[in-house]
A and B are shown apart, each in its own frame.
Chain A
Amino acid sequence: MSKPELFQRDREWHPRALTPDYKTSVSRSPNYPLLSLQSSDSEITGPTFGHGDIDPIDNDLLRNYAKTGDPIGERIIVHGRVLDENDRPVRNTLVEVWHANAGGRYRHKKDTYLAPIDPNFGGCGRTLTDDEGYYIFRTVKPGAYPWRNWVNNWRPAHIHFSVFGTAFAQRLITQMYFEGDPLIPHCPILKAIPDARAIERLIAPLDLNATIPLDSIAYKFDIVLRGQCSTFFENRPEGN
């Protein structure tokens, strides 16, 4: 194999498949245990992307769908680094985000929440990390919104993140929350994560150092992907 294997994914750190308080998981979670595999090329390779795939404006949600002006809402910067478990930057990797508008409404044909669509806000962005693993988006702060789970569930404000890494088995989708949001302790989706330390990892702190005075407030969100093993020892050589 030409690429390193990955550290085992810590399944006790992630949410389990079956988390009954998040009701939809009940019929969408496998009953049987996952079949655990040692990595092969099928897992340690993965798609890569380049600057020809995306446009510079794609990470600016204030402008990438603007028709008649800027979208309504609190102007924010969300930035951070994509690292691996060895604390090394994950370079040139695709980061995609999507979120509701400032009123908590998604631009999606299936979203019927009564808050209005913002004509100047699409709600998605994408970018590639730089050589330090750094990324940045500019957008408006999403609003909280209600969802059907219990009668009165509200999602805390959040931004969905999709990250690739270099191996298909590093593929990760998660959600970023905002420091100080009082809905965080009430969210069944967030509480699907069993470890309070893991939940904290999804809450982005206010980052005053990165705010732009008189313009935008900033939050910092670092993302960690599975680490790559540094050793290539074969415990049984090919052909044996």
Chain B
Amino acid sequence: MVQSLDYLKETPSQTAGPYVHIGLAPGAAGFDIYRQELGHDIAGPNASGTRINISGTVTDGFGAPVKDVLIEVWQANAQGIYAGDGAVEEGFRGWGRVVPDFETGLFSFDTVKPGIVMGREGRPMAPHLNLWLIARGINIGLNTRMYFPDEVEANAVDPVLGLIEQPVRRETLIATADDAGYRFDIRLQGDRETVFLDV
């Protein structure tokens, strides 16, 4: 016999279900209850750097839009610093919640472009947004990242993109430029399935 390890086990995940908006974005569910909903303004009014818009859809294995998805965004500021991990602009939280249009499934949000973040062992990570997807049918939230098409050099040495063996899969994490800013489509399954992360 040996001593027993006294760690607790993490609480198991369950799907957020189709009505996740009630808890996390009640305005989207159709009612007003709180003085302020959280996560509407990712960057805040004082953030430096380039203001950008990102839009896209989340689609299922049939290519149909996942209209009841909720996406959380977590990002560094333009200097590559996460809120809580160093000095950032007043009002910069770097976190937000994104809900698509219930009819079309198209999402759109505004933020600032993040800077390069120092990764493990002093290897810089290309500018990226960390995304977490929850929805009906998703038993445990899906983590992924969005990278930028105009960061070719930084992307080429990014340690996370570098872990993806197949170049065609690497491309699923890189947005495309469009008229409004960037377009990032997330495919849960099937053709050009997005790379999801076990973080």
Contact = CB atoms under 8 A, between A and B. Distances in A.
A, B assembled together: yes
Given A30-B142, A96-B24, A174-B13, A40 B8 contact: no
Given A22-B137, A173-B16, A31 B193 contact: yes
A223 interface: yes
Contact of B117 (A19, A42, A84): A42
A109 interface: yes
Interface in B134-186: 134-143, 145, 159-160, 163-164, 169
B107 interface: no
Interface residues of chain B: helix, strand, loop or mixed (majority): loop
A199 B11 CA distance: 9
A10 B72 CA distance: 22
B98 interface: no
Contacts of B7: 7, 85-87, 227
Contact of B11 (A160, A172, A192, A195): A172
A13 B10 contact: yes
B38 A49 contact: yes
Range for the number of chain A residues in contact with chain B: 35 or more
Interface string B49-84: 000000000001110101010001010100000111
Nearest to A39: B199
A54 B116 CA distance: 32
A51 interface: no
Interface string B25-64: 0100111011110100000000000000000000011101
B132 interface: yes
A45 B29 contact: no
A227 B18 CA distance: 29
A30 B33 contact: no
A14 B199 contact: no
B99 interface: no
Interface in A44-103: 45-49, 53-55, 58, 64-65, 83-87, 94, 96-98
Contacts of A87: 6-8
Given A47-B95, A225-B11, A27 B85 contact: no
Contacts of A15: 12-14, 139-140
Contacts of A114: none
A30 B72 CA distance: 19
Nearest to A45: B82
A206 interface: no
B33 A64 contact: yes
A232 interface: no
A169 B38 CA distance: 19
13 contacts: A16-B139, A34-B196, A34-B198, A37-B199, A40-B159, A42-B82, A42-B128, A45-B74, A87-B8, A106-B19, A168-B132, A201-B9, A238-B121
Given A22-B139, A169-B199, 17 more contacts: A15-B139, A15-B140, A25-B15, A27-B62, A28-B66, A28-B136, A28-B137, A28-B138, A40-B120, A42-B76, A47-B74, A98-B24, A122-B22, A124-B26, A173-B20, A202-B11, A240-B121
Interface of A: 1-3, 7, 9-11, 13-17, 19, 22, 24-32, 34-43, 45-49, 53-55, 58, 64-65, 83-87, 94, 96-98, 106-111, 122-124, 126, 160, 162, 168-169, 171-175, 189-190, 192-193, 195, 198-199, 201-202, 223-227, 234, 236, 238-240
